[in-house]
Structure 1
């Protein structure tokens, strides 16, 4: 049985791949998710791929490396078997395999025995936490909806959950999502409030990010910014996140009784179309703000574990523009164009989730979550031993004694100063 692949350009922005089987004369079509194959440099990539032997690494330009990465995702996502061109446009083996791994995942499953410490001596939380950060209207809520559809499916019934009822990045609360819909899920995803491009350089943004990374986050935690108090009814602050005399408590439930999660991995979500169009118009503010957010000192606790970059699409871009935008953004934020970055279409041009029309985006999303869990299990620290607690208590005691002696010295100094002042006054009177 012999198969032929024909590529027909439907428009300048997309394409459709037709696979015909000569023996059965059956023609099946795949939706236009292999958009990169219409690029001018794609023929060069194919030539390098089939030259035989290993290609010269020096000839792999950044664009060619992007093609190589996209072809890898297409190969796995579409379920292509070796030596054939059999495509499964729905529920491919690649997505199903990752979905099963994520469904059965427990926090610490991807832990590696490094440092000579056993797993029982590691401080592994019951739930790994992935935090989504980005700018307003960058696609965080749509990304959560796509996670529900890709990872939380039950049979053939898609399930989407809107992550923000306020819309347009106006949510003032952190929202926790268990996207695999399992009581035994080992991870959760937090949707945060989007930042403004103009305020990313302010100190308050860095302090908020550092607070999330250092002290953890919890469900319905407030994300107030400057100017928000005018929109919130008058109330009294009590404790950390508790509020009294608040008439709309059901809408702004800021209770701190929820379990506080330690952030194990961060996904920086950026609207690729918005940033690229501003860059082409000569406005570099958006791409510089994306660089500052990605390279924030709050995420630099471990140099080897940088945030995962998710590039979403708010508008349709041509093939050349999508590749150029990916290279520009990756080059600016300082991440490899093929490692730790995923180009995901959350919504199609018709407003539907992209899983059915773009299985590569579905697989890329599942792989991004899988990568985040791998990073999470590498960031766990050893448990504190009795010796560690003893040293900690001893340091507290020493600090208390030092503070007490400093207070006594200050009091004695002030009393001695008053005595010297009285003696000086008496000498002057004589």
Structure 2
């Protein structure tokens, strides 16, 4: 969801239901009213809110630092909350935004400048977006939602298989490519296996895709897989009609990081060390340089927001913004399991963000001027090498057994002066 700049001044008052409480909490957000900052943010609705009453003897200088941090969090919280209202006000732009997305072709959104043109970029035939996320994050469900939005079919068959019971479901073990829309080649989504709790396994899976490309139908195996799972995957791979090795590897152009809002909220509420480790692992993977394109990190999609209150959804986006180091209003998109216009617009804006940044970070071609400038030099080198090889082959010919002069006659009748050849050499 779009929004204002991250720390712009906002003055608003919102009634937001507290998580787990029936009574609402009054929020005041004002950059000018210092009394507003003294208002206690009850129930810790703003993450890690600081309670100054617990530290009556706190140094005023330290207290001012904490006040500044709390003021900053208040502004961010207010902006994320305001972004939901802004989204509703932009509903009339849905048709225009959707048409723009459907008219996209790879490279068509490259930033045009006076000194560089589209033809100087290495533009792919299809822009590839990689879906990455923990187990149960909702990657396959997101594929189906995107498909329904762009194909205008509420009853369109779902292309991606969704695992509704993660404890017994097989999940996604093979890479699946989905063209969006179905019969277009403008851009595609790659649904992948869920991230592991082992960082090394995740890097082993992601590095080849980001560096060498990804293949549709590729089986993702892990060392930690049980023997039973390995046997089942081997049987599935055998039944596959086409070998993924016969398909070309497609370069990844941008990454979509998918997280389950319920799991994130649980991590916020629970001080358990395991929950904290999972959050840190998610942050470590997200901030891996191999998932970024220049300075552009992946977008974040939060799923299952329809099961949460608005205050919880805001709290999750603020938390993820701090954890992952991205703007919660510009780079984190709340996409619940809903079919309303606001959700549709969020999906369209999320995809537009991905494609714009994919085009912006396309690699440049080797300039023709450079090739033309080195071509004469390459021809000279090749000619010199051929002359050298020819002279060496002539010199290495065996001499006649009996000769009384420096000149001999070859079998072809050609006279060879060996003294001159040695002199030349």
TM-score range, shorter chain: 0.5 to 0.7
- What pairs with 1:279-298 in structure 2 (closer than 5 Å)? 279-282=268-271, 283-298=275-290
Structure 1 residue 223 and structure 2 residue 223: aligned?
no
Give distance in 2, aligned partners of 1:138 and 1:366: 20
**Which residue of the partner structure matches residue 422 of structure 1?**
none
Structure 2 contact 81–314 (Cα < 8 Å) conserved: no
Shift of 1:382: 1.8
Structure 2 contact 140–162 (Cα < 8 Å) conserved: no
Q: Deviations over 1:287-314 (max 9, x none)?
A: 21221121112124411x1110111127
Structure 1 residue 163 and structure 2 residue 147: aligned?
no
**Which residue of the partner structure matches residue 331 of structure 2?**
340
Give distance in 2, aligned partners of 1:371 and 1:365: 10
- Cα 1:205–1:390 shift into 2, 3 Å: farther
Structure 1 contact 279–286 (Cα < 8 Å) conserved: no
* Length, aligned pairs only: 313
Structure 1 contact 39–320 (Cα < 8 Å) conserved: no
- What pairs with 1:361-376 in structure 2 (closer than 5 Å)? 361-376=343-358
Matching residue within 271, 292, 308 for 2:260: 271
Shift of 1:118: 1.9
Give distance in 2, aligned partners of 1:206 and 1:58: 34
Give distance in 1, aligned partners of 2:94 and 2:82: 19
Structure 1 contact 135–270 (Cα < 8 Å) conserved: yes
**Which residue of the partner structure matches residue 300 of structure 2?**
309
3-state SS in 1 of match to 2:244? coil
**Which residue of the partner structure matches residue 137 of structure 1?**
136
Give distance in 1, aligned partners of 2:207 and 2:349: 27
Matching residue within 75, 96, 113 for 1:61: 75
Matching residue within 201, 210, 213 for 2:207: 210
3-state SS in 2 of match to 1:269? strand
Q: Deviations over 1:246-301 (max 9, x none)?
A: 78533485422223211111010011211221331213123212211211121244
Give distance in 1, aligned partners of 2:211 and 2:316: 33
**Which residue of the partner structure matches residue 186 of structure 2?**
186
- Cα 1:12–1:338 shift into 2, 3 Å: closer
**Which residue of the partner structure matches residue 40 of structure 2?**
none
Shift of 1:115: 7.7
3-state SS in 1 of match to 2:238? coil
- Root mean square deviation of aligned Cα: 3.5
- What pairs with 1:395-406 in structure 2 (closer than 5 Å)? none
Shift of 1:99: 2.2
- What pairs with 1:107-146 in structure 2 (closer than 5 Å)? 107-114=106-113, 116-146=115-145
Structure 2 contact 215–244 (Cα < 8 Å) conserved: no
Give distance in 1, aligned partners of 2:238 and 2:374: 43
**Which residue of the partner structure matches residue 320 of structure 1?**
311
Structure 2 contact 94–345 (Cα < 8 Å) conserved: yes
TM-score in terms of structure 2 length = 0.65
Mark the structure with the bigger radius of gyration: 2
- What pairs with 1:76-95 in structure 2 (closer than 5 Å)? 76-77=90-91, 79=92, 94-95=93-94
Give distance in 1, aligned partners of 2:72 and 2:226: 56
- Cα 1:374–1:217 shift into 2, 3 Å: same
- Cα 1:59–1:135 shift into 2, 3 Å: closer
Shift of 1:130: 0.7
Shift of 1:315: 7.2
Shift of 1:44: 5.5
Give distance in 1, aligned partners of 2:231 and 2:373: 47
**Which residue of the partner structure matches residue 364 of structure 2?**
382
Gaps of 5+ in 2: 1-14, 34-70, 382-425
Give distance in 2, aligned partners of 1:39 and 1:295: 34
Shift of 1:379: 1.1
**Which residue of the partner structure matches residue 31 of structure 1?**
none
Higher helix proportion, which one?
Answer: 2
TM-score in terms of structure 1 length = 0.64
Structure 1 residue 71 and structure 2 residue 85: aligned?
yes
Structure 1 contact 174–219 (Cα < 8 Å) conserved: yes
- Cα 1:248–1:62 shift into 2, 3 Å: closer
Gaps of 5+ in 1: 1-8, 14-37, 49-56, 80-93, 236-242, 348-353, 398-430
